[in-house]
A and B are shown apart, each in its own frame.
Chain A
Amino acid sequence: MDRSRGYRVFQVINAVILTGVVFVTLYPFVNIIARSFSEERYIVNGEVSVLPRGFNLTTYKIVVSDSMFWTNYANTVLYTVVATAIAMLLTTCYAYVLSKKHLKGRTFLIWVAVFTMIFSGGLIPNYVLVNSLGLTNSIWAIVLPNAISVFNLLVMKAFFEGLPQELEEAAAIDGLNTYGILWRVVLPLSKAVIATMVLFYAVSFWNSWFTAFLYLNEQDLFPVTIYLRNLIAGATGAESAGAAIADVSQAASNIQSVTIMLTVLPILAVYPFVQRYFVSGVMLGAVKG
């Protein structure tokens, strides 16, 4: 196809700019990878950029041999899987109910959800609540308080609303009850939004540290994010270090990079597989508002 000269110039400039953007976006990550394989002294001197210098694997060996890292890593996997499963179950049920326009009190139910987006009891009341329910120091403190994300709920509701009413009516005539319709008709047609939601939830649970930090008091129960955060704080807390002689030893800066690498990799590996559902899923929800 013939393109005008102007258009080709535009394409070239476009490509250059976008390559720049890609580089800027990727650089921090590539830098972390390079640092994780580099020798300490090059990092301290700021000489590591894209390629590792003084290539070695010792730090990987050190981190991998810390049993607490693996304990916390296993916790993260467990919390993510359980929390995502519970969140998907509850969100799907709630969203499906909300998508039915003939439901009485539907506006009220929506506002109950939206209300929590705007108002919350605050940190301390929440803590007291979770504590009084006896959830602290257990996996339930992580998976239950955040089981429904209102944003995800609304996206899913919009998606369900977009499905043709007639399909469900036909299913009902064929003898399916409400749960049957949801399970056999609606859900198989909703793979895109489900994949998207699973990804949203899984990433947010994988990355989350604050709820775990609030409600867990034993390091055996911590997710790996807390381990990582503490490691980085220990390595950069220079100003507070002057106080107690016992506190001054620092974690090496490439230990941080290695831990970041090991923590990010699994969740990163999931992306390509969900990518194709991802775009269509979010768009579908968005267009049908």
Chain B
Amino acid sequence: MRELSRRQAIIGLGAFTLVLAGCGEDEAPKKAAETSANKAGAMANYAAGQQFKATEPVSFDVLYNNHPFYPLKDDWLFWQELTKRTNVTLKPVAVPLSDYEKKRGLLVGSGQAPLIIPKTYHPQEEAFVASGAILPISDYVDLMPNFKDKVAKWQMEPDLDTLRVADGRYYLLPGLHEEVWVDYTLAVRTDILEKLNLEVPTTWEELYTVLKAMKQEYPDLYPMTDRWGVPTPGGNLLKLVAQAYGTKGGWEYQHATWDAAAGKFAYTGAMPQYKQMLEYLNKLVKEKLLDPESFTQQDEQAKQKFNSGKSFVISTNAQTLINDYRPTLSKLVPKAKIAKIPVPMGPIGDYKIGTRLENGVMISKKALENKNFVAMMQFVDWLWYSDAGEEFAKWGVEGTTFSKDASGNYKIADDVDFVGLNPDASKHLQKDFGFSNGVFAYGGTTKLLESTFSEEELEFQKVMNARKAWPLEPPHPFSDEEREQATLWETPLKDYVTQQTLKFILGERDLSEWDAYVKELEGKNMTSYMNLVNGAYERFKKDHG
């Protein structure tokens, strides 16, 4: 008995310690603090388009996502030239790409995060909002003339609204693209098209006809097999087809989709458009045009089928076309030709759908107390948002790593390689110089983005850019309690929708049972969930609209 009580005492003491440790500082967020005490090193008249240079040497810690393809090197020209141009020395805290998110959470949670925290994908930053460790950056964008300039010039306020949380602020400085940039689509064997006298399909219905014709010629094969089915079944395919019908699926599945006609959000998995998407895909599977394994197989298997000529259509992006398909396919099926086709269109017409926001930068709240705070914001503004900064991060130093002709076209230096532009060169833009680094180089003008694209990719972009951008959805940010409730409902809903989506597509459940399926969703709190979403939307519109 005596021993037991001692044991209990130990456990009790331990639990108490745990409780103590759990209580962090619960400081109320300070409103836009004084910024006169933290102006050391800042330029007095920093403006858009101007070169930033700190008035005294300063240094900032930056969380660094270390990519195995171009591992961090201290002697990169990037670091040296950056210091030369801006008087800023960046001190990277190297984190392996494999576990970047984990370490970032740990560092922010323990208050040890560097001041600058790049490579954050919305909505990851929302997890840190409640802790108060992250600066509500929207209160400080006045310090960032280039950012404001681009937002105004490209009319990106509605885009930024999608980042706002319930208090009306946003906590992430996103990368800004001038235009919606579409990369993922389908790759098609054009030599088969030519052989069968078929045109490149421009709509999903035409794709159906093309697949049917292929099936007629090759009755033993599935004309289309797909990759990117794990872990999200039909990640890319469902995404593209759903978009064409005006809903969301695959990688981009979200529970709520804006219904402009009704002026409110509808539950995505129960929308009539979602049903149409299922009908279309079910038709492909039923007629054996689409390999049913597409939704469960590993990428390796899909690639193998496509590359050995057992299938003619597969999902792709610009890189996989060059890296995954063309080299092997050309060896195994020497006559094969493939092309990335413009994303097929559906009932909604010639729209391109995507976001103009890229992953972005969070700033630690403790930066406010740093005497160089203003200089740091100006520096971030210059490096990530000025034309000169973006060009520097992507292309490097003119005369050393690249040159520019009179009309502003970029050309890589002869002894430097990047994305296969100079395969025989001895040095590599990313590995040896540190430019075009995913941590610093993204976003910017379409001209800059396309400056590294191949001819065929430019063709693809030309077609896609001629399409209109699909209008953005209005924001509906949850409060903390609402988000907690929403998460509880979302997981079972999502699991059920994913599961039933596959059953409908593969024909295990007949689409005549659609109404029953919608009822089952209601049993999983779909209606309560939508009330929450639409309530949040109304409230945000009233308070901040």
Contacts and interface: CB of A to CB of B under 8 A. Distances in A.
B184 A229 contact: no
B430 interface: yes
A128 B319 CA distance: 41
Contact of B68 (A127, A213, A251): A251
A66 B66 CA distance: 16
Contact of A242 (B3, B18, B21, B184): B184
Interface string B458-499: 000000000000000000000000000000000000000000
B251 A239 contact: yes
B20 to A, nearest CB: 10
A233 B21 contact: no
Given A45-B304, A217-B94, A246-B438, A251 B69 contact: yes
B6 A107 contact: yes
Interface stretch (A108-116, A158-166, A183-191, A262-270): A108-116
A253 to B, nearest CB: 9
A229 B319 contact: no
Contact of A115 (B14, B67, B319): B14
Contacts of A289: none
A112 B106 contact: no
B438 A213 contact: no
A246 B436 CA distance: 6
A214 interface: yes
A132 B184 CA distance: 47
A11 interface: no
A127 B109 CA distance: 10
A222 B68 CA distance: 13
Contacts of A213: 96, 99, 102-103
Contact of A68 (B71, B301, B328, B452): B71
B442 interface: yes
Contacts of A242: 183-184, 317
Interface stretch (A73-81, A118-126, A193-201): A118-126
Contacts of A100: none
Given A131-B110, A214-B106, A229-B96, A243 B359 contact: yes
B331 interface: yes
Q: How large is the interface on B (under 10, 10 to 19, 20 to 34, 35 or more residues)?
A: 35 or more
A243 B118 CA distance: 14
A244 B358 contact: yes
B501 interface: no
A68 B96 CA distance: 13
Nearest to A118: B11
A24 B67 CA distance: 34
Interface in B82-108: 93-99, 102-103, 106
B72 interface: yes
B311 interface: no
B183 to A, nearest CB: 6
A243 B323 contact: no
Contacts of B96: 213, 222, 226, 229-230, 233
Contacts of B365: none
Contact of A123 (B67, B106, B121): B106
A121 B14 CA distance: 9
B145 interface: no
A249 interface: yes
A237 interface: yes
Interface string B1-21: 001001100110011011001
Interface in B34-71: 66-71
A54 to B, nearest CB: 11
A248 interface: yes
Nearest to A243: B359
B452 A245 contact: yes
B10 A115 contact: yes
15 contacts: A44-B304, A44-B307, A44-B328, A111-B7, A119-B14, A121-B17, A121-B18, A123-B109, A229-B99, A230-B96, A232-B98, A238-B299, A242-B183, A246-B436, A246-B441
Given A229-B99, A234-B69, 14 more contacts: A44-B307, A45-B328, A119-B14, A121-B17, A124-B106, A217-B93, A217-B95, A218-B94, A238-B320, A241-B319, A243-B442, A244-B358, A245-B419, A245-B436
Question: What are the 5 closest A-B residue pairs judged by CB atoms, nearest first?
Answer: A233-B98, A234-B68, A230-B96, A247-B438, A248-B319
